């Protein structure tokens, strides 16, 4: 197997297309240990530089998807759907969206990830709720979906083990930003979940993996094509991540904003993404005739309390404290120090660089540079102003939540560097919605 792996790596290094059998052998060998990490790292780098054809990408996706257990929902009695974001700063949409969609009668079995680098992770946010356990077995996951229609868990050892091993290698070998590898990684998990429909949120801008709309569209097209080839209903939206999403950045703080959305309030951009992504999930499963009807249904359950009631069920079922739904600030961990960033001049907030904000949050302890890094759930930022808002000298631009005065002082300076005040909003600011790929 090692010799065949060397030949397979060499063929991809030389830009040749690999057969389905070669890819399957490589992945199965990687999972059983006969293909060592260093060979798989070499393969990932070859793919990074040489790319893959759609047929190769589909073969890689299939091999990874079937490297472990496959979840099925036969007999559930309702359609299933999921949503995945490629990641960004302040992107907490999955948290209000999953219970909102479930409140509309579509089951949402969601397998989520942790934050890494400047991008936040859904699991870290949920774990800031005291007692919330994301480490369920697949059997408990299926039972919860049958009982309440929604569950959010982490990737288990038995689900797509090839992806779990390969992702950790990609992260430390600078091969994360490869469209075939991203496509196979995301979709192998989502297809192994067994969902009928999938909505993808492909972020664009400084705080995203894909910095330009052209790069993002290429990734969106690859993922939609691969998902549809596997027999799933898939839509990808391209959305802005050149500035943070919403107003709260940091794990417990993002739970606070999520609960505001679930109460029919919250920032307009977070609500808009929740309604449209959720509405498309309803449309793809046939629960509504069109996207407009789907958006209206999601908005309705956010406004009338049904989405919040479903979230309360979700929190309790995962062992968390459901009182977080009533008074999140009393239940969630709170930072020791809260310090303002004040406007140093008057004018318009012209831009707020998402990557710089995200890295400042990591330095505070809200994120991690390595998988083993500890995350402080209490720290982060609450934005009082966003691009397009007018400010006067001395106005509060943001509140820094930190574990010490020293860290707060550093974060204030880093956050100031991310904000530009001018006479008008930046002409380079991306629209919230850039494109859609069906």
Cα end-to-end distance, the chain, whole Å:
39
Residue 170 annotated as catalytic: yes
Cα torsion through 425, 259, 403, 203, rounded to 10:
-50
Rounded distance between C-alpha atoms, residue 103 and residue 311, angstroms: 9
Cα–Cα distance measured from residue 242 to residue 176, given in angstroms and rounded to the nearest whole number: 20
Of 118, 164, 170, 385, the catalytic one is 170
Q: Which two tokens stand for residue 223?
A: 């993922």
From the list 12, 118, 125, 189, the catalytic residue is: 189
- Rounded-to-integer distance, Cα 328 and Cα 432, Å: 28
Asked if residue 246 lies in contact with residue 120, where contact means CB atoms within 8 angstroms, the answer is no
Report residue 199 as tokens. 């909505």
Residue 163 known to be catalytic: yes
Q: Which residue among the candidates 12, 83, 84, 283 is catalytic per the annotation?
A: 84
Choosing from 185, 188, 258, 378, the catalytic residue is: 185
Cα within 13 Å of Cα(348), Cβ side: 10
Collect all residues with Cβ–Cβ distance below 8 Å to 67 and sequence separation of at least 6.
27, 28, 31, 160, 161, 162, 163, 188
To the query of whether residue 28 is one of the catalytic residues in this protein, the response is no
Active site residue 404: no
Helix, strand, coil in percent for the chain, rounding step 5: 45, 15, 35
Catalytic-labelled residue, pool 91, 124, 163, 376: 163
Residues 239 and 89 sit within 8 Å (Cβ to Cβ): no
Structure tokens at 394: 């001395």
Instruction: Please choose, from the candidates 118, 89, 157, 161, the residue with its C-alpha nearest in 3D space to the C-alpha of residue 383.
Output: 89
The yes-or-no answer on residue 403 being catalytic is: no
d(CA 121, CA 90): 10
Q: Which residues are catalytic?
A: 84, 163, 170, 185, 189
């Amino acid at each position: 197997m090692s010799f065949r792996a060397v030949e397979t790596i060499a063929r991809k290094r030389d830009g040749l297309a690999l057969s389905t059998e070669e890819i399957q052998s490589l992945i199965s060998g990687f999972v059983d240990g006969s293909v060592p990490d260093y060979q798989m790292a070499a393969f990932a780098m070859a793919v990074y530089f040489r790319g893959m054809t759609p047929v190769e990408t589909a073969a890689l996706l299939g091999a990874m998807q079937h490297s472990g257990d496959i979840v099925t929902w036969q007999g559930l009695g309702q359609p299933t759907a999921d949503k995945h974001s490629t990641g960004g700063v302040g992107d907490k949409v999955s948290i209000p969206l999953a219970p909102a969609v479930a409140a509309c009668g579509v089951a949402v079995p969601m397998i989520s990830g942790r934050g890494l680098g400047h991008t936040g992770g859904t699991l870290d946010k949920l774990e800031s709720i005291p007692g919330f356990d994301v480490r369920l077995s697949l059997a408990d996951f299926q039972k919860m979906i049958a009982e309440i229609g929604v569950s959010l868990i982490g990737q288990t050892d038995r689900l797509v083990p090839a992806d779990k091993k390969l992702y950790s290698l990609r992260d430390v070998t600078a091969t994360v930003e490869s469209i075939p590898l991203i496509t196979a990684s995301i979709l192998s998990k989502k297809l192994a979940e067994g969902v009928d429909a999938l909505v993808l949120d492909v972020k664009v801008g400084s705080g995203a993996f894909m910095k330009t709309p052209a790069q993002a569209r290429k990734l969106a097209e690859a993922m939609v094509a691969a998902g549809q080839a596997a027999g799933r209903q898939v839509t990808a939206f391209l959305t802005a991540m050149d500035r943070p999403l919403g107003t709260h950045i940091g794990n417990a703080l993002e739970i606070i904003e999520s609960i505001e959305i679930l109460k029919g309030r919250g920032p307009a951009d977070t609500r808009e993404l929740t309604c449209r992504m959720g509405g498309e999930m309803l449309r793809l499963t046939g629960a509504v005739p069109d996207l407009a009807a789907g958006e209206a249904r999601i908005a309705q359950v956010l406004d009338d309390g049904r989405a919040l009631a479903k979230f309360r069920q979700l929190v309790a079922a995962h062992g968390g404290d459901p009182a977080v739904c009533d008074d999140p600030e009393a239940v969630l961990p709170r930072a020791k120090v809260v310090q303002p960033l004040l406007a140093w001049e008057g004018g318009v907030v012209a831009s707020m660089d998402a990557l710089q904000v995200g890295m400042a949050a990591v330095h505070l302890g809200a994120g991690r540079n390595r998988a083993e890094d500890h995350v402080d759930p209490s720290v982060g930022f609450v934005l009082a102003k966003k691009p397009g808002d007018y400010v006067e000298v001395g106005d509060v631009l943001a509140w820094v939540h930190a574990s010490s005065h020293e860290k707060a002082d550093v974060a204030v300076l880093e956050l100031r560097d991310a904000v530009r005040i001018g006479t008008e909003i930046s002409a380079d600011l991306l629209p919230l919605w850039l494109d859609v790929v069906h």
